Amino acid sequence: MELVDSHTHLDFPEFDPDRAQVIERAWQEGVRLIFNIGTDLNSSQASIALAESYSFIYASIGLHPHDARLLDGETSQALEKLAHHPKVVAIGETGLDYYRNLSPKEAQREAFAFHLELARKLGKPLVIHSREAHQDTLNFLRDFARNPGKLSPPYGIMHCFSGSLEMAKEAIALGFFISVAGPITFKNARKLPAIVKEVPIDFLLIETDCPYLAPHPHRGKRNEPAYVRFVAEAVAEIKGLSLEELGKKMLENAFKVFRLA
Ligand code: NI
């Protein structure tokens, strides 16, 4: 069985005690591709360092909406420089989070626009976070799809999707994939399984978003890429596929959206 984890934060301090073992465990469990997503300048640099150390890890660079207030001329120049690295396959994580509002909305929108511009300029796809900000996020994506610069579809990923079915449909029509994380496995999950059922398999991806959002039966504990298997099992069941078939399809989708040869 072969799997992909399309969204990890293995550079976070939660993994300091045993990072190498966590990565080894992922490989042993069949995880053949990991995309480590930068959330600020340091985390983006650390993501690249991980990608340089492991052939099956790739990196994305960006400033998370929570940290959007940190965007200044120096940071944007440094991020743009990092974006050229050959193992940097995406821009983000970027987007809007009006649930926690850890950065002011205006700063979040400015940072989002900066990442979209970088994607246009470099032709690299976007990793997008949207929480309680779905209309504003869609407005940015509509605008991007009208003027994608050097980027051709698919334009990126709606990571840890938490929107409605209507939003998923529109994001797909605009050129984005829908990625689901641990909540798909939760006993009380209703809305997300219904969305996964409707979204064509060609536009789906799976992720852990580790160290957060550990899937059942590890809910509440530290998450890790090996647990993407539980997300894969839940999606496979909804789609009526074997775990092997689902895993293979998710790898194909990851190759496509991240442009791996
Ligand atoms: Ni994330």
For ligand 1, the distance from its centroid to the CA atom of residue 182, given in whole angstroms, is: 12
Give the CATH number for residue 31.
3.20.20.140
Full residue range of the structural domain in which residue 14 is found = 3-257
For ligand 1, the distance from its centroid to the CA atom of residue 261, given in whole angstroms, is: 25
Q: Which residues of 174-195 are buried (b: 16+ CB within 10 A; e: fewer)?
A: bbbbbbbbbbbbeeebeebbeb
- What CA–CA distance (Å, rounded) separates 224 from 246? 19
- Domain tally for the chain? 1
Phi first, then psi, for residue 132 (nearest 5°) are 50, 30
pLDDT of residue 261: 76
Statement: the pTM of the whole predicted model exceeds 0.95: yes
pLDDT of residue 206: 98
For ligand 1, the distance from its centroid to the CA atom of residue 188, given in whole angstroms, is: 22
For ligand 1, the distance from its centroid to the CA atom of residue 94, given in whole angstroms, is: 9
Taking a 5 Å cut-off on Cβ, the residues next to ion ligand 1 are 93
pLDDT of residue 87: 98
User: Tens of pLDDT along the chain (261 residues)?
Assistant: 999 999 999 999 999 999 999 999 999 999 999 999 999 999 999 999 999 999 999 999 999 999 999 999 999 999 999 999 999 999 999 999 999 889 999 999 999 999 999 999 999 999 999 999 999 999 999 999 999 999 999 999 999 999 999 999 999 999 999 999 999 999 888 899 999 999 999 999 999 999 999 999 999 999 999 999 999 999 999 999 999 999 999 999 999 999 997
